A and B are shown apart, each in its own frame.
Chain A
Amino acid sequence: MTIDEMAGSVSPWLTGQAGHGESVISTRVRLARNLAGLPFCHSAKPEDLTHALDRIRDAVMSTNTLKTGTYMVMSELSDLDREFLVERHLISQEQAEKSGVRAVVVGDNEMVSVMINEEDHLRLQSIQPGFQSMEAWRLVDRVDSDLDTRLEFAFSCDWGYLSACPTNTGTGMRASMLVHLPALVLTGQVNRVLQGISQMGLAVRGFYGEGSEVMGNLFQISNRTALGTSEVDILQSLDNVVRKVLEMENQGREILLRDARSQIEDKIWRAYGLLKYARRLTSQEVMSLSSAVRLGKCMGIVDRVSIGALNRMLFVSQPAHLQKRLGRRMSPGERDEERANMVRSILEEEESRTGAG
């Protein structure tokens, strides 16, 4: 699938139909691996990197999962295409911005991909819709085992898979869930809950991962340590913590309905009205307004729009997605206009589907 084909479609993991899909947008599991006998990427010579790239590409493109995948070399892509892949959660900001011999292989349904020569020689990832850490792990584990028969990874019996950054050494795994916690934010409990999460040894980040800010009440909860625990144990503790957080979020929603029903309904319908009738919308606005509508959907206040449509709105209104769709660079002002058109057409479609409006 080419980038242009991707731009015309929606990531399959945005359906919103998986377990807890209304509050957990997606689950991601990634593994860091390095080739034995070659320096790590940042200290490797260009010829080492080219050598690593060739070996990894051949191995990846012969795995069952990725043999029909799309191989893309970063230096051959336009800036816009690289931004698009970042928004799509298929490559990291670092992979998009830094020079060097870098590439990515994206599987047919975008649920499995491999970054080549990022911080580590390989970064395998699987993204699944909703609350599905075990499924994401199963897929990425399968690719890893398949690659293991074709490549020799740097590994020590004491410390596991060796990584350029010691924080990843061990399983090389980071598992994260993107969760929507509006009621905890509205009731002012979110900081306390997030502190609790970090005391449990997990980390919380914003929408685009490390170093990014929180937008649209979306939080990324992930494991912080990779050594001393098995993959499945790490996933189980993530599952447990997220389940607990969702329970608290639901309690928060009940409190809001009980004590402030009319204020909440007002907030939600105002947000809906803005999304539906505004003629210019920034990405920040779409993030926070669609968060309110999503809350309305979960509380049974709004039923004319599906979770899948709200997920879609969140992704297609990102800057590079908009520009890819129209096939050209646009100024921020133009984008805001186009974004409002896009959002409006999604809502109109949903209204005619559900017979509302």
Chain B
Amino acid sequence: MICDSCGKEPATVHYKEMRGDESTEYHLCEKCALEKGIYITPDKKPFTVSNILGGMADEVGSDLETCEGCGLTYREFKDSGRLGCAKCYESFKEQLRPLLRRIHGSNAHMGKSPSSRQEIFEKKKEIDKIKEELAAAVDREEFEKAAELRDKLRELECS
């Protein structure tokens, strides 16, 4: 079997990726697998959470994108599994969104918040909730209810 990626070397790494119910199989040579962050040479790196994380990280955007806060590249994050600073969460937002969903099964914080952010956070939760209700109302073709929710949403977003 020949490597799916370079089409030259023999494929020695067989990798199955699960996304929801869909699974895709990859057959790669060691070099391409290493480049994609899928393969971890057993004697060089221990099999740790970071490696798994690195392997899970999405291929959205470039690996060389850099955090303006600390200078970390997304590639470095994939290698270590550790982000450099709080700003990294902004800088790599697009890549982290699907990653966090895969780790936690969710994308929205529901827990405690610092006292200084409580008001903003509560408001955001409220807005998210109304948006969900609004979408559901539109789905069910309950337009009167939807209009009501839309007004409530506007009011909240303006305040």
Which residues of A are in contact with B by a Cβ distance under 8 Å?
34, 36-40, 42-43, 119, 141, 144-145, 148-149, 152-162, 164-167, 169-171, 173, 201, 225-231, 233
Q: How large is the interface on B (under 10, 10 to 19, 20 to 34, 35 or more residues)?
A: 35 or more
Q: With a CB–CB cut-off of 8 A, which chain A residues contact B136?
A: none
Closest to B121 in A: A157
Contact of B110 among A37, A42, A148, A229 (CB under 8 A): A229
Contact B103 A225 (CB under 8 A): yes
Partner among A157, A167, A171, A231 whose Cβ is within 8 Å of the Cβ of B120: A157
With A148-B114, A164-B82 as given contacts, are A227 and B49 in contact (CB-CB < 8 Å)?
no
Contact of B70 among A36, A39, A227 (CB under 8 A): A39
B contact face: mostly helix, strand, loop, or mixed = loop
| Known contacts A40-B84, A157-B120, A229-B106: A148-B111 contact under CB 8 Å | no
Contact of B109 among A38, A154, A158 (CB under 8 A): A158
Whether the Cβ atoms of B107 and A228 lie closer than 8 Å is yes
Contact A165–B107 (Cβ < 8 Å): no
CA distance A302 to B95 in the complex (A): 57
Known A-B contacts A40-B82, A40-B85, A148-B114; the reply to A166 vs B96 at CB < 8 A is: yes
* A225 engages B82 (CB within 8 Å): no
A-B contact pairs, 11 of them (CB 8 A): A40-B84, A145-B115, A156-B109, A159-B89, A159-B100, A160-B111, A162-B89, A166-B53, A166-B81, A166-B99, A228-B104
Contact assessment for B108 and A158 in the assembled complex, using a CB-CB cutoff below 8 Å: yes
Question: B45: CB under 8 A from chain A?
Answer: no
Chain A residues within 8 Å of B50, by CB = 165
Q: Quick check: B100 and A227 within 8 Å, CB to CB?
A: yes
**How would residues 112 to 138 of chain B score, 1 for a CB under 8 Å from any chain A CB and 0 otherwise?**
111111001100100000000000000
Say yes or no: is B149 at the interface (Cβ < 8 Å to chain A): no
Taking CB atoms, residues of chain A closer than 8 Å to B13 are none
User: Contact: B111 with A170, CB < 8 Å?
Assistant: yes
Give complex CA distance A38, B111 in Å. Answer: 23
Tell me, yes or no, whether B153 is within 8 Å of chain A by CB. no
Shortest Cβ distance from B22 into chain A, in angstroms?
Answer: 20
